[in-house]
Amino acid sequence: MNLLRLILKSSVGKKALVAAAGLLLCGFLIVHLGGNLILFSGENAFNGYAASLDKNPLIPLAEIILAVLFIGHIILALWTKAENAGARPEDYRFKRWKRDRWYGSKTAFYSGLLILVFLIIHLRDFRFGTAPQGLYRLVMESFKSAPYAGFYAAAMGALGLHLGHGFQAAFQSLGLRRPRVRPAVDAMGTAFAWLVAGGFAIIPVWAYFK
Ligand code: HEM
């Protein structure tokens, strides 16, 4: 507890926690995308996969960890943003650095906000909604609505932007974006962000036209 308090007192510590939570959430996204791609294998395969998740006794624990990661990531990111806004350095180089950083964190703020709105609607409909017809049909029928499928595709655009910035920021905060490896880290982050966002975005588009 004392260690956590110490970490939360420092801006570097909070940024490291935001980064660690963000990277763990990327792990969830890979698993979730893998599960969602089973939709392409048809109704039985996808409903069978959903039923196996329902039966897994570890899922409730994983859901609690996931909620803590999401909420912790958001609260700590907003907290560091508020602290940064309070700092008023005069030095020119510092100002330029702050302006560049501000641009990145501003887009991250708005893309993050859109992802949060998406997540609330997403969980209401797919996690807590009733699906007497089975989860496959619930998902496929939902995406027959053009505005709904379009909203999903747009939210995935925000996810790509957020992950692209977040990946670089996370490696920077953890001291892993040294000049020598920076181009490789940035390229990896961009590729990861758009592969994941693109992978998710294909689903509503495919389901709409199917
Ligand atoms: C086309 C894109 C997506 C589809 C079709 C999709 C589908 C689903 C479905 C069917 C569930 C319910 C699973 C169940 O109850 O067994 C679910 C849960 C969930 N989804 Fe998605 N999802 C998509 C994108 C996303 C994205 C981008 C995120 C995060 C930013 C996300 C976060 C979640 C979370 C947190 C849950 C709850 C997990 C749990 O409680 O076990 N989803 N999704």
Residue 179 has pLDDT above 70, yes or no: yes
**Pocket of ligand 1 from Cβ distances under 6 Å:** 32, 36, 50, 53, 63, 66, 115, 119, 122-123, 126-127, 135, 139, 152, 159, 200, 203-204
Q: Is the pLDDT of residue 45 over 90?
A: yes
Does the structure show a pLDDT above 90 at 84? no
Q: Would 100 be classed as within a structural domain?
A: yes
123 falls within a domain:
yes
Q: Is residue 45 part of a domain?
A: yes
What's the CA-to-centroid distance between 122 and ligand 1, angstroms? Answer: 7
| CA gap 131, 124 in Å, rounded | 12
More confidently predicted of 62 and 7 = 62
User: Residues 189, 97, 177, CA angle at the centre, nearest 5°?
Assistant: 30
Which range of residues forms the domain containing residue 93? 12-209
Query: Which atom of ligand 1 sits closest to the CA of residue 138?
Result: 10
Residue identifier of the C-alpha nearest atom 12 of ligand 1: 127
How many angstroms is it from 124 CA to the middle of ligand 1?
Answer: 10
Please answer whether residues 46 and 39 qualify as being in contact, where contact means their C-beta atoms are separated by less than 8 angstroms: yes
* Average pLDDT, integer, range 72-81: 94
The DSSP output letter for 123 is I
- Whether 189 is covered by a domain: the verdict is yes
Name the phi and psi angles at 143, rounded to 5: -80, 0
CA of 2 to the centre of ligand 1 (A): 35
CB neighbours of 129 closer than 8 A, spacing ≥ 6?
138
Q: Is residue 2 part of a domain?
A: no
CB 205 within 8 A of CB 149: yes
Which letter, b or e, does each residue of 27-65 get, where b requires 16 or more Cβ atoms within 10 Å of its Cβ? eebeeebeebeebeeeeeebbebbeeeeeeeeeeeeeee
Residue of minimum CA distance from atom 10 in ligand 1: 126
Residue 58 lies inside a defined structural domain of this protein: yes
Residue with tokens 């990145």: 104
How many structural domains does the chain have? 1
Whether 63 is in a domain gets the answer: yes
The DSSP symbol for 36 reads H
What is the tens place of the pLDDT at every residue in 2-36? 888 888 888 899 999 999 999 999 999 999 999 99
**Model confidence, pTM:** 0.91
Return the SS3 of 210: coil
Q: Are 199 and 37 in contact (CB under 8 A)?
A: yes
CATH code of the domain in which 82 resides: 1.20.1300.10
Residue nearest to atom 3 of ligand 1 (CA): 200
| Domain-located, residue 200 | yes
Question: How many contiguous H segments (helices) and E segments (strands) does the chain have?
Answer: 8, 0
Single-letter residue type at 160: G
